[in-house]
A and B are shown apart, each in its own frame.
Chain A
């Protein structure tokens, strides 16, 4: 790790000011990606602006037909929240499956979404549920937010404040983990709200999280695992590495989607 200056602003406004003053500075949320990268000397921010002491960034509440989660809310708190478990059990289950207990105790939803790791779990939930990402400047629809591997719509000086998830009628997440890291090799989040069915896939796309048109089309008629029988997903544009070929990932997408649908239907 290289030397850096450390700041712990008390408000998001102060954090934004500090960020604008430190061109090479980075916002620190849970630090589960940033700190290991710094320890390996792969990242060397001049300043860390720690959101851990900023007011109003944590917490979970139901506002009408939405579940609103503060950006600094830890995975463990989403996983164990009675509100989330009741309204969107698939989202609580997703949080429970992130990393290990140590990661879940530190990692945050805002950090995960802002980082947009192509194998992270939360982006699939945000995209499938049609979440709104609320920053210190504006509201961004998930459809517009994720812009490729580690790339988002966030502008300089923009900080995620909370994420708002519309409550679906049915939703579930199914992850096929990388055997070593247990990140998603293929993670599929399915959500049904009225007649709208969305299937978001993480871990598989070389451009990050995406919606599977093939699976969505198959489920548009009947939201049932059987609807996905025989669905073929193209391997083009999917990741290939020593753990999985793009063909294997393509094969796993409808398989995981089927299992997610079954889970969403409570079977």
Chain B
């Protein structure tokens, strides 16, 4: 095993050659014979009853094969889309989930909701025909503002006050008691802005029904094809699992938005049988803005109780979470179990109580987006910690240090038990890298040039490696969150790794091969990774929640260990030695204390020719599978420090320095990890400075294109100074914690803490656009003048 490709080496990504040379196979690159095209007629209204839907003219338009509506779904007994996580109210009653038909059944609930589908020989014909559909809408009031949702017209009959749930976590009495003895209470109101994911590849699907075999194949842009098959079989009722194959080929980014099972892929696979042709749909960018599940969108009031020494006594949180017009696949758990259990942050907080209201609005569904609940928790915790430090006149680094959890394992008052960490080490390294001690001098220099300089901290924690099945089951999840792997060794010793994880940018083809090659002592080029096809991989839970390292690779290691164990048996026969005397080291099976030895490939060949076996004792072949169910979440953590310079004349914020110190546990490929950190910070800076989905009072999405929705660009970002501290995870065999979401979780509070430091007050919203910061500068100037 070459050190250049082993675990810990910055191996270049094996998949990049095909991506960079245009040889990737994305869903839209796939074309089936006689393929037809789907166009979805979408609601122009945020909220309306469909009084009449006349499809007759569209049906007879040129090239049209079918025009299908919600009535056709009902006639075929096709079920609605589901939400896979049951949340219970404070009183123990279940949440109120309205029906979610893939095509509207009498009502539309957001702009972009699916009214009907036209399938035609060409996409242009389908689009032309859709213009001939006549819809008579009775427009109802839009419900956009969460604070006004309660008294507004009901979006779903089952939820007359537009409340999905009223949930809580923690000990209210203990928290109240903590506040009763507090010497200082810091209060904060924060809005976590709504984001639109914007994966580079828009969603796409091809449904292909084979009348010869009765098998449906769905090609789709999915992060978890097996979960898609399970839902489409067991709940939507397209076909039983053995008659439905789901293929998620190369997928160009997901960030969570491709976890969910959407209307379009459901309709394409169902309609392929109805029209007797494969049916393809690829979203245009406007459809992506309108109908991909959005992220974040919280309004929170929180209070932090401190004693006279600045130690935290208790934390009280009330959050309103916008869930949109329908409950998307995992939407219900994002602002509850992926949010409130992270409210202890890196701090020793004796009592926490959180209340969350999940609210329906006439906007696109909101679900998991890079970080999913954890960025919202970190933003809140790190903003109130910063504010508390300022109010008590304490250096923000010192305030954090004083309140850090310092011994592990640590049980928080909100479910999570942190296995390991060293928060002080991350802070110390970050302070040094950021040259914190000279910040005051830099601030003075900026002031000489008429600029405001500020520095902001974010000491984040996340719960990754999602997740122990028993734990999530007890909290309402409809599935277990283990992962599977299979190692297939070919007769001459090359290896295929089949994984239930799914790569859509993470580089699994490289890191998984690195791990397996390292363990088996073979060349990395002898290992290939197979994923994303339910006919090849038996089952898997997919990739999200920074789980594929901690959970997916743990399953792989388990399967590799089984291969080695079987290999020892094979070697014992082949070398005519006792199995207990066989040792496996550096890719060779050796008989202890002798020079008798076989290479891994030789043992593989012996396993397949089976000439030396007694067939009753040992089966031929070398192939092993494993399921790995984690015993705990993993807890990556770190400290990011952002330094900004603001031009008070224009309100433009320039990020002049970024220090990121992360503890991801053990690392397989530091180059890929660094890339994940870069991308995560870019998305986090996007949330903090640039991105914000905006619906107007009529429920129209104003930011439905790049003309108004600001994505981060390279010139919005500085070069990042990246540092690593390591405390290996104690609950999985590799000591991995996960890194995919860290940057997006850490970045927003670091930016806003820096800007509020610069302008001298806390009233800075996200995104902190030039307009917002200009207003904040004016307010800051007024405040200074008054003092």
Does the CB pair A252–B650 fall under 8 Å?
Answer: yes
Tell me if A12 is interfacial: C-beta within 8 Å of chain B. Answer: no
Residue in B286, B769, B774 whose beta carbon sits within 8 Å of that of A179 in the complex = B769
Residue of A nearest to B692 (CB): A242
Whole-angstrom distance between the Cβ of A252 and the nearest chain B Cβ: 7
| A97 shortest CB reach to chain B, Å | 13
Select one of A181, A242, A245, A255 contacting B650, CB under 8 A. Answer: A255
Q: Contacts A181-B706, A181-B708, A242-B694 given: A176-B771 contact, CB under 8 Å?
A: no
Please, what's the 1-or-0 string for B573-584, where 1 marks a CB less than 8 Å from any CB in chain A?
Answer: 000000000000
Q: Does B702 contact A (CB under 8 A)?
A: yes
Q: Are A243 and B769 in contact (CB under 8 A)?
A: yes
B696 to A, closest residue via Cβ: A242
Minimal beta-carbon separation of A254 from chain B (angstroms): 10
Query: Is the beta-carbon distance between B709 and A180 smaller than 8 angstroms?
Result: yes
* Chain B nearest Cβ from A44, distance in angstroms: 11
The verdict on A245 contacting B709 (CB below 8 Å), with A176-B650, A179-B690, A255-B650 known, is: no
Residues of B within 8 A of A181 (CB): 706-708
Known: A244-B771, A251-B774. A180 touches B706 (CB 8 A): yes
Residues A243 and B771 in contact, CB atoms below 8 Å apart: yes
Report the interface size for chain A: residues with CB under 8 A from the other chain.
Answer: 15
- Cα–Cα distance between A253 and B305 once the two chains are bound (Å): 46
B 703-733 to A, binary, CB cutoff 8 A, 1 in contact else 0: 1001111110000000000000000000000
B710: A residues at CB distance < 8 A: 179-180
Chain B, range 154-169, C-beta contacts under 8 Å to A: none
| Residues 237-249 of chain A, each 1 if its beta carbon lies under 8 Å from chain B, else 0 | 0000011110010
Q: Mark A158-201, 1 if CB is under 8 A from B, else 0.
A: 00000000000000000010011101000000000000000000
Q: How long is the Cα–Cα vector from A82 to B711 in the complex, in angstroms?
A: 34
Report B743-787 CB contacts with A as 1/0, cut-off 8 Å.
000000000000000000000000001110010000000000000
CB distance from B774 to the nearest CB of A (A): 6
Would you list which residues of chain B between 675 and 719 have a CB under 8 Å from chain A? Answer: 690, 694, 702-703, 706-711
**B residues near A251, Cβ cutoff 8 Å:** 774
Question: Counting CB contacts under 8 A, is B525 at the interface?
Answer: no
Q: A243-B708, A255-B649, A255-B650 are in contact. Are A179 and B702 (CB under 8 A)?
A: no
Residues of B within 8 A of A179 (CB): 690, 710, 769-770
Q: B residues within 8 A CB of A1?
A: 124
Distance (Å) between the CB of A185 and the closest chain B CB?
8
Q: Assess whether B649 is in contact with A248, with CB atoms less than 8 Å apart.
A: no
Q: Which residues of A65-106 have CB atoms within 8 Å of chain B's CB atoms?
A: none
A180 with B650: CB separation less than 8 A: no
Q: In the complex the two chains form, is A180's CB within 8 Å of B708's CB? A: yes
CA distance A244 to B650 in the complex (A): 11
Given A179-B690, A242-B694, CB of A248 within 8 Å of CB of B771? yes
Enumerate chain A residues within 8 angstroms of B649, measured Cβ to Cβ.
255
A60 to B124, CA, bound (A): 41
The tally of residues in B whose CB lies under 8 Å from a CB in A reads 19
Closest residue on chain A to residue B691 by CB atoms:
A180
Report chain A residues within 8 Å CB of B770.
176, 179
* B769: A residues at CB distance < 8 A: 179, 243
Assembly CA distance A252 to B710 (angstroms): 20
Cα–Cα distance between A181 and B710 once the two chains are bound (Å) = 8
A244 to B769, CA, bound (A): 9
* Residue from B690, B703, B707, B770 whose CB has the most chain A CB atoms within 10 Å: B770
Count chain A CB atoms within 10 A of each CB in B124, B649, B709 and give the residue with the most.
B649
Chain B residues, Cβ within 8 Å of A245 = 771
Closest to B709 in A: A180
Instruction: Give the docked Cα–Cα distance between A40 and B650 (Å).
Output: 34
Shortest Cβ distance from residue B231 to the other chain A in the assembled complex, whole angstroms: 33
Contact residues in B for A180 (Cβ distance below 8 Å)? 690, 703, 706-711
Contacts of A176 in B (CB 8 A): 650, 770
Q: Closest B residue to A1 by CB, please name it.
A: B124
Closest A residue to B131 using CB positions: A41
Q: Please tell me if the beta carbons of A242 and B702 are within 8 angstroms of each other in the complex.
A: yes
Bitwise interface map of B from 633 to 673 toward A, beta carbon under 8 Å scored 1, else 0: 00000000000000001110000000000000000000000
Question: Binary interface profile of B, 171-186, with partner A (CB < 8 Å = 1, else 0)?
Answer: 0000000000000000
> Interface 1/0s, chain A 215-257, versus B by CB < 8 A?
0000000000000000000000000001111001001100100
- Return chain A residues, CB-CB under 8 Å to B702: 242
Residue of B nearest to A180 (CB): B710
| Complex: A179 Cα to B703 Cα, angstroms | 12
Chain B minimum-CB-distance residue to A186 = B650
Task: Tell me, rounded to whole Å, the shortest Cβ–Cβ distance linking A119 to chain B.
Answer: 10
Closest-CB distance, A96 to chain B (whole angstroms): 15
A59 to B694, CA, bound (A): 44
Alpha-carbon gap, A245 to B690, bound state (A): 17
Residues on the B chain within 8 Å of A255, using CB: 649-650
Cβ contact within 8 Å between A242 and B774: no
User: B97 → chain A, closest Cβ, in Å?
Assistant: 32
Measured in the bound complex, the distance between the Cα atoms of B771 and A251 in whole Å is 11
CA distance A149 to B709 in the complex (A): 23
* Chain B hits for A242, CB < 8 A: 694, 702-703, 708
Which residues of B are found within 8 Å of A252, using beta-carbon distances? 650
Interface centre among A1, A181, A183 (most CB of B within 10 A): A181
22 A-B residue pairs with Cβ-Cβ distance under 8 Å, sorted by A, are: A40-B286, A176-B650, A176-B770, A179-B690, A179-B710, A180-B706, A180-B708, A180-B710, A181-B707, A183-B707, A242-B708, A243-B708, A243-B769, A243-B771, A244-B771, A245-B771, A248-B651, A248-B771, A251-B774, A252-B650, A255-B649, A255-B650
Interface residues of B, Cβ cutoff 8 Å to A: 124, 286, 649-651, 690, 694, 702-703, 706-711, 769-771, 774
Not counting A180-B690, A242-B703, A243-B708, a sample of 13 additional A-B residue pairs whose C-beta atoms are within 8 angstroms of each other reads A1-B124, A40-B286, A176-B650, A176-B770, A179-B710, A179-B769, A179-B770, A180-B711, A181-B708, A242-B694, A248-B651, A248-B771, A252-B650
8 A-B pairs with the lowest CB-CB distances in the bound complex, closest first: A180-B710, A181-B707, A179-B710, A180-B708, A255-B649, A248-B771, A244-B771, A242-B694
